[in-house]
Amino acid sequence: MLVSTGIHVAFVVLLCFVAIATSSSIGNDPVTNSKTLHSNTTTSSHSNKTEDKHLSPDGGIHGDEGHDDDGGHHASNRIHVAELNYDHVKGPMIVVLVIIFAGLSKIGFHHADFLSSKVPESCVLILLGILFGAILYVTGAAENVDFFTPDTFFIYLLPPIILEAAFSLHDRAFSDNLGSIIMFSVVGTIIACFAIGLSLYGLSLAGAMSDPEANLVQILVFTALIVAVDPVAVLAIFQEVGVNQMLYFMVFGESLLNDGVTVVLYNVMQTYNRMDTIEADQIVLGIVKFFVVVFGGLAIGIILGILSAFITKYTNLVKVAEPIIIFAFAYESYILAEMFHFSGIVSIIGCGLTQVQYAFKNITNKSKLAVKFFAKVISNTSEIIIFLFLGLKTVTTHHVWNTGFVLWTLLLCVVYRFIITFGISWSINRCDRHRVRKIKLDEMFMISYGGLRGAVCFSLVALLSEKEFPMKNMFITTTLVIIFFTVFIQGGTIKWLVKKMRISLNDSTKDMIMYQELNQHITDHLMAGIEEVVGTSGKHYLREKFDNLDNKFFRPLLLRDANECDVEELNKYYEKLMMKEHYKNLRICGAQNLPRVASSIRAVDSSACLRGMDNGFEQKQLEKEEERVDRRRRLISQRSLDNAPRSDGEYDVQKMLRDALATSRNHENVSIVFCMLL
């Protein structure tokens, strides 16, 4: 019912928009009417020699005594009860209609189980974008309106997605696999760029396809952008299926860092394309620029993240400003990095991770919830707009089709993705001595198969200059084909493959989470001590050194309460556990209409949890223990006095036998208890 209602509302909106566009094209354009009126009025004024009049910015004619020949006022000076000024709001109206249409389609998609269980959401959004673009193209309502400019994508739409992803990257699974993620995102991307580019250039020279009329550097510019992996489509599928943490963060981190590396490669190759001759020193400078751009962006992000943490240290009286500080500094890191031609993607990732590490511990729980929820909303909205506008830009007449170039590019992208991923995974399993869990073959396959292309590569290809790249339209068409193939074919079958290959999933019903968390910290300290004793500086030893440095310098400087123990997750889990058991016992006692606490915690025995609910329980236990120790000390001292020898040097034989009998009975009781325990 809700799906059909949403579809009906969407089509009503589209029909209204088409009606407005049609009426505006017939002759209701107020600007055109005002210009016609101005010309007629000017002719009339010259013939009658009236006073001068001028055209105002809104198209009206102003004059002190401007009258018609019949003595009446001009029509444009009259008061209109209702007017139609479509050209004034055409661009924003189309954008808002696209967003409304996207929201309705998203609601309908998630209520249609038969569709959401088989097709990724990104595929539906692209199809809706193509449908919407076709309607606008046929009606002519979108003329002279540029929907999806690359500047709009990189400045406004991409930063929220990267920031929300950076907040999610603050996880132990990401830090444990950081070295492997860097291998895939940096080494793998560079190898793929040159392998695909050189292969395409060699195939064009060998006559295996029609001449693309592009030199080697121009093809390398194209392959630098086509290796950008989209982190949106595949992660939504992985979240829905619930794959294991290692596989999720390997694909997540690789696709996220891959975008930053791709942009850097793209800019370096663009610089080479503007040179007449590429000398050896320019190649060396290009390599140096690659590292400067990456680490420069990372430095800017970390510095602004530290500044935001330091400012939130003093926002306890102005809590409403805490989310503003978080978002403003994160976006500023992206803008500053782009201003200095550094990597804005790497910069906002570094800023987001730093804010989660320090700034999030200064702000209140409500501010933290607001930041995460708002980031999720903006990120999801940007993703919807990106895929819809991608479909909108598909409906155009400027496509140039080169069958050989398209098919060879598609084949090389898929084949080299598998070869490079399997090769890097094998080298990681063989060379990483500290890795306990190896990358399995089925996980290698899913990492390779999850290399979907998306809006990043399309925006980069749209940035190309037609003057420098006469074959730009061919590159755009090839990019769209690769995006559609990877999103529809690979993205549509990846969920089925995860189930058929029986990829190890994330266990969401683990017991004893508090025990595992505590045991993990103990194991980390123990392994760090062992590494220090044997003289091997492993990851546990480095983590211990960083924690010591953090506790000594950064936490006192950036945190409001540096002495607070970092056990927030344990406290939250304990609170949920206590509340769940509290309501459970109230229901047992007959209480009705009690709220249910949403939690994934499994049922546990109440006697194991309610023991510490009283705030004074531990204090009472300590007092009882001290009282018992004092009583025992008094008894021992009294017994020593009683057993002391008399002044005449003789012992009381009867008392000695009585004490021995009591002692033997106590030993017998202790033995019985000990045997029962065993």
For 54-79, how does the pLDDT look when each residue is reduced to its tens digit (9 = 90+)?
444 444 444 444 444 444 445 557 78
Judged against a pLDDT cut of 70, whether residue 281 lies above it is answered with yes
Share of the chain above pLDDT 90, in %: 19
Place of tokens 């390997």: 250
* 408, 209 Cβ separation under 8 angstroms: yes
Neighbours of 547 (CB within 10 A): 15
pLDDT at 32: 41
Q: Give the residue-averaged pLDDT of 425-451.
A: 84
pLDDT at 639: 64
pLDDT at 132: 75
Q: Give the residue-averaged pLDDT of 221-227.
A: 93
Q: Give the residue-averaged pLDDT of 240-259.
A: 80
* Mean pLDDT, the chain, whole residue set: 75
Domain 160-500: assigned CATH number: 1.20.1530.20
Between 232 and 112, residue with greater pLDDT: 112
CA distances from 500 to 70, 363, 427, 446, 494 (A): 84, 45, 27, 12, 10
pLDDT at 109: 77
CATH code 1.20.1530.20 region(s) in the chain: 160-500
* 328, 311 Cβ separation under 8 angstroms: no
Amino acid at 398: H
CA neighbor of 158 nearest in space, from 485, 381, 450: 381
Q: Give the residue-averaged pLDDT of 399-407.
A: 90
pLDDT at 408: 94
pLDDT at 438: 84
Judged against a pLDDT cut of 60, whether residue 624 lies above it is answered with yes
Amino acid at 45: S
Between 441 and 600, residue with greater pLDDT: 441
Contacts of 130-134 spanning 24+ positions with Cβ under 8 A:
130/391, 130/392, 130/394, 130/395, 131/391, 132/14, 132/98, 132/101, 132/388, 132/391, 132/392, 133/391, 133/392, 133/393, 133/394, 133/395, 134/395
Is 0.75 topped by the overall pTM?
Answer: no
pLDDT at 317: 85
Q: pLDDT category, 516, cuts 50, 70, 90?
A: low
Q: pLDDT category, 608, cuts 50, 70, 90?
A: very low
